[in-house]
Structure 1
Amino acid sequence: MSKIETLKALLEAELGPSIKALVLDRGELTLTVKAADYLATAQLLRDHPSLKFEQLLDLCGVDYSSYKDQPWDGLRFCAVSHLLSITNNWRLRLKVFCPEDDLPSVASVTPVWNSANWFEREAFDLYGILFDGHEDLRRILTDYGFIGHPFRKDFPTSGHVEMRYDAEQKRVIYQPVTIEPREITPRIIREDNYGGLH
């Protein structure tokens, strides 16, 4: 049994009914759990003597609407974490879908891995995912007055407002977007001798 298959069997034995999906694909293991079990699962993954996922390497939000340019029949927002066990030298992807699309929310895992702090703030800022129990959940990349969440697939590419420096007011001001949407058509070269080819 390979190392990753050993981890898969161990997760199946320890998590049992908490597992919504456990997929081994391309040498990577992805564990999906229910939102209600997310925090307890994170705690177990870190503290179980056979698992020991001491580090959270990354956490990001995902908007699954129109996933792979196809209609998506499922919950829209997901928080995805990448975990590392230094002790056992194995990795795990942990996924949890937010139970509501209108107000996406899951538990914060900052009490388990404090490295989740800024990652959760980023997922909140860009996707609007609320992390229940996070002590300082505020925007981290956009302005505090920014409206919307720019990584959501329904957010307009040009945004809602733009900012510029106003010399008269001697400060940065916000104004409606002045970029006009346009369709860009690639230039096609149809020369017979283009590039020295005959």
Structure 2
Amino acid sequence: MSTKLDTLQAALNAVLGDAVKRLDNLKGELTLTVSSADYVRVATTLRDHPELRFEQLQDLCGMDYSTYKDGAPSIYAEGPRYCVVSHLLSVAKNWRLRLKVFATDDDLPMVASLNEVWSSANWFEREAFDLYGIIFEGHIDLRRILTDYGFIGHPFRKDFPVSGHVEMRYDPEQKRVIYQPVTIEPREITPRIIREDNYGGLK
């Protein structure tokens, strides 16, 4: 396995050159980080270059690194908040790659769409837009895919309240579903753990 990863790592460095911002080989997986300016060009090269041939985009998701400053690896402690992570597969070469790109603006996170490179990116990018608010420039139909049409906010952002902002219920008087402010009071539950000496006969 390590020989195959070493071969892929060497090929990525040789083919992409300066477009490689980071290339991490951790736990038997390669993670390639590129700048948002090079994102589409690198993705196209990963798909088309005969030494790489990543024909399939198997997954794409958003990430919010805003709380990674608290005890997280130093590479995420500073820098942009939002990231898009893609998982690629080469059937011809039988290898995989994780591709990462960070949005440069935390207030309006935006990266280019990969829909023209891999058509499977379509719904994945819609999901990342819906849940994280990441805008995919050039996407053919960027709209919510999981939340309701009138939903406000992006529920996978770290600053989104767990209980949400509104709740939905059926009103028998109006004979329809209505939205209202959340009635659940926020609270923090800390479990109480009691350990007895010699519990279960163990010392």
1:69 is displaced (CA, Å) by 2.8
Please point out which of 133, 143, 147 is paired with 2:152.
147
Find the residue that maps to 2:167 and give its secondary structure.
strand
CA distance in 2, matches of 1:195, 1:136: 60
1:24 is displaced (CA, Å) by 0.8
Find the residue that maps to 1:35 and give its secondary structure.
coil
1:183 is displaced (CA, Å) by 2.4
Change (3 A) 1:42 1:167: same
Tell me whether 1:131 sits opposite 2:162 in the alignment: no
Change (3 A) 1:191 1:45: closer
- Give the unaligned 5+ runs of structure 1: none
Please point out which of 72, 78, 86 is paired with 1:81.
86
Find the residue that maps to 2:61 and give its secondary structure.
strand
1:13-42 alpha-carbon deviations (Å, 9 max, x no partner): 111111110111111000000001000111
* TM-score, normalised by the number of residues in structure 2: 0.92
CA distance in 2, matches of 1:56, 1:64: 23
Q: How does 1:50-89 map to 2 (within 5 A)?
A: 50-67=51-68, 69-70=70-71, 72-89=77-94
1:165 is displaced (CA, Å) by 1.2
Look up the match of 1:173. 178
1:194 is displaced (CA, Å) by 5.5
Please point out which of 116, 119, 125 is paired with 1:120.
125
2:48 is matched by which residue type in structure 1? D
Root-mean-square deviation (Å)? 1.8
CA distance in 2, matches of 1:130, 1:190: 50
Look up the match of 1:156. 161
CA distance in 2, matches of 1:115, 1:109: 9
1:24 is matched by which residue type in structure 2? N
Tell me whether 1:4 sits opposite 2:5 in the alignment: yes
Change (3 A) 1:192 1:97: closer
CA distance in 2, matches of 1:10, 1:27: 17
Deviating above 4 A after TM superposition, structure 1's stretches of 4 or more consecutive aligned residues are 190-198
CA distance in 2, matches of 1:102, 1:136: 22
